[in-house]
């Protein structure tokens, strides 16, 4: 960690502290900067402040930060499937097997590395930071929204927080699911010692709507709509009703070339126009 001291410029007057840090440390993930703010590693004029603090010209900002984190945003020329792009956001169809963001173990080949290259290959005005708003597991494919500026990130994140974004998935599960529709309402929590997520009596409320699309001899194609957004929620809920997702070996699914879970539809409001946007992705071959 390095101790960095910064002075707020007149052009940065009234910026939120989080946005100020994102602009000053463009190659460090917003997630890491938020962690530093949460852990009280940043002061403004000698006082701990939250992410929404509005700064004034000549404010004195101090932060303890790991500048080696810049390497995790290294742009890499990796092909990505772009479903929609404009000045405020980009929606991509993430393939199965790709990490969304770098980790301590894997710093290359992630979606953020690919976006860092794509968003900046023709940009001469400074580094555009890909702003993650939601995530998909490495094994899950499908649609993801990424913000291209701080304002869009904040407004889109607010929609996710208020649960006004509609996300729909398709999954191929084991066995024949009885009934055409069902609501799975089971709390999910983290088992710290085992480092896993699962059903837990004192977990957070977790709700998934399921609709049968097609029944086969040994499997069922279902549409899943998570009302809440817990870690591994769809995998856990499908396994809990006795129909684990194909490829989810840890929860009883058979071995397969990939996890048969795909985010195929997104509905949200555009952060600038306010218009409703509905996007759908191509179907994976296992459909």
Measure the CA angle with vertex 242, ends 238 and 245; round to 5°. Answer: 40
Comparing CA positions, the residue from 135, 144, 141, 137 lying closest to residue 82 is: 144
Considering only the C-alpha atoms of the chain, give the largest distance between any 2 of them, rounded to a whole number of Å: 69
Helix spans in the chain (H): 17-24, 30-38, 111-118, 150-161, 233-240
**Bigger pLDDT: 73 vs 62:** 62
CATH classification of 2-69, choosing from 3.40.50.740, 3.40.50.300, 3.40.630.40, 3.10.290.10? 3.10.290.10
Q: Distance between CA 69 and CA 183 in Å, rounded?
A: 41
Considering the entire predicted model, what is its pTM?
0.80
What digits encode the pLDDT tens for the residues 124-176?
A: 666 788 888 998 999 999 999 999 988 899 899 999 989 999 999 999 999 99
Kindly indicate the confidence band of residue 207, based on its pLDDT and cuts at 50, 70 and 90.
very high
Our answer to whether residue 39 is catalytic in this structure is: no
Using an 8 Å Cβ cutoff, are 268 and 164 in contact?
Answer: yes
Answer yes or no: CATH 3.30.2350.10 is held by domain 167-263: yes
User: 216 Cβ partners below 8 Å, 6+ apart?
Assistant: none
Q: Which of 137, 180, 201, 248 is catalytic?
A: 137
Q: Give me the residue spans of the domains in the chain.
A: 2-69, 71-163, 167-263
Same-fold call for 71-163 versus 167-263 = yes
Torsion of CA 148, 149, 150, 153, to 10 degrees: -30
Class of the CATH domain delimited by 71-163: alpha beta
User: 239 Cβ partners below 8 Å, 6+ apart?
Assistant: 245, 248, 251, 252, 253
- CA R_g for the chain: 21
Point out the least confidently predicted range of 43-57, 86-100, 121-135, 175-189: 121-135
């Amino acid at each position: 960690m390095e101790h960095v001291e910064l002075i707020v410029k007149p052009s940065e007057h009234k910026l939120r502290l989080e946005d100020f840090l994102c602009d000053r440390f463009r190659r460090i993930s917003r997630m890491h900067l938020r962690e530093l703010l949460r852990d009280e590693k940043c002061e403004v004029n000698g006082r701990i402040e939250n992410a929404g603090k509005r700064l004034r010209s000549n404010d004195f900002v101090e932060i303890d930060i790991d500048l080696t984190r810049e390497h995790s945003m290294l742009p890499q020329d990796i092909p990505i499937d772009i479903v929609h792009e404009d000045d405020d956001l980009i929606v991509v169809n993430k393939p199965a097997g790709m990490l969304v963001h770098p980790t301590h173990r894997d710093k290359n080949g992630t979606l953020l590395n690919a976006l860092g290259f794509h968003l900046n290959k023709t940009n001469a005005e400074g580094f555009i930071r890909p702003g993650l708003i939601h995530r998909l597991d490495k094994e899950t494919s499908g649609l993801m929204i990424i913000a291209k500026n701080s304002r869009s990130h904040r407004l889109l994140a607010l929609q996710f927080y208020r649960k006004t974004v509609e996300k729909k998935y398709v999954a191929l599960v084991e066995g024949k699911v009885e009934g055409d529709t069902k609501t799975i309402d089971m709390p999910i929590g983290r088992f710290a010692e085992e480092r896993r997520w699962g059903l837990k009596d004192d977990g957070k409320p977790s709700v998934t709507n399921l609709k049968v699309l097609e029944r086969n001899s040994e499997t069922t194609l279902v549409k899943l709509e998570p009302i809440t957004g817990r870690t591994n929620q769809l995998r856990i809920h499908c396994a809990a009703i006795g129909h684990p997702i194909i490829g989810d070996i840890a929860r009883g699914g058979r071995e397969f070339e990939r996890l048969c879970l795909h985010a195929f539809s997104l509905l949200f409001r555009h952060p600038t126009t306010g218009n409703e946007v509905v996007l759908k992705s191509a179907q994976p071959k296992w459909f």
